[in-house]
Amino acid sequence: MFQIKAMPQATVTPGVPALLQPGYYVQFSDSWPGNLSVTYQDKKGATRGIFAQISRTNQVPYDLSYIIPSGDFRDVDFSNLLSTFNENLYPQNPITLYQTQIGFKRGNFLAIRYIPAGEYVSRLEQANMVPNVTSATLRYLGAIKWQDSPYYDKRFYFYSVYNMEPFILRLFVDNGVDFEKVVMGLTINKCYMNVIDPDKVTDEMRSRSLKIEYYLDERW
């Protein structure tokens, strides 16, 4: 569901596309809940993630910006659920996948991930080791900085499907400035999926696929 890609150690020619393209395969893990369209019931009644091929894509650029005072934050809700801060950046078609690249312009701020609201993506096993913007130290736990995914070199990826739980990005302005204009550059890669019959999926197809984990797979 989330990817933060490291700086490349080498370049290749010709270049490899950063985004999903027509003909690419995707595999959803079996942890996705059965009420979502990216799952099916196998012959034994178990919930499985679908295997699909991308048939067409459309890349949509979109910038979001917020002016936030020092020591304060703004929660950005990517979902389509009606809320104070929702941005309607989820698919409405049950067979569409959004692959969203997120990059940040330089600034004195941190970005903390929640899904759903109030549930931290990044945390440690000790009970109190969770992000906390009111703490001088824990505000940095699991936080994304602009250097991790610059505006012109986006490395932060997020995958969303129809009716998925809301993804919240908390933008917190750190000490040292009076106000900060936080600018997020997005590229929403709309991917239309053709679901493939599980009996027709080969090992070679699986080896070439992008596996999309559910957030509970990543938050353990």
Q: What are 22-66's pLDDT values in tens digits?
A: 999 999 999 999 999 999 999 999 999 999 999 999 999 999 999
Q: How far apart are CA 33 and CA 3, in angstroms?
A: 20
Per the domain annotation, does 165 fall within a domain?
yes
Domain range enclosing 142: 23-218
Q: What is the pLDDT of residues 158-207, one digit of tens each?
A: 999 999 999 999 999 999 999 999 999 999 999 999 999 999 999 999 99
Tally of domains in the chain:
1
Q: How far apart are CA 88 and CA 73, in angstroms?
A: 20
Single out the residue of 89, 128, 114 nearest to residue 171, CA to CA: 114
Per the domain annotation, does 13 fall within a domain?
no
Q: Under a CB-based contact definition with an 8 Å cutoff, are residues 69 and 173 in contact?
A: yes
Q: Under a CB-based contact definition with an 8 Å cutoff, are residues 61 and 180 in contact?
A: no
Per the domain annotation, does 97 fall within a domain?
yes
pTM for the model stands at 0.91
Single out the residue of 171, 166, 160 nearest to residue 117, CA to CA: 166
Q: What is the pLDDT of residues 108-155, one digit of tens each?
A: 999 999 998 888 888 888 988 999 999 999 999 999 999 999 999 999
Per the domain annotation, does 16 fall within a domain?
no
Per the domain annotation, does 1 fall within a domain?
no
Per the domain annotation, does 12 fall within a domain?
no
Radius of gyration of the chain from Cα atoms? 18
Q: How far apart are CA 153 and CA 103, in angstroms?
A: 7
Per the domain annotation, does 11 fall within a domain?
no
- In angstroms, the Cα distances linking 2 to 19, 177, 215, 217, 219 are 14, 30, 8, 11, 11
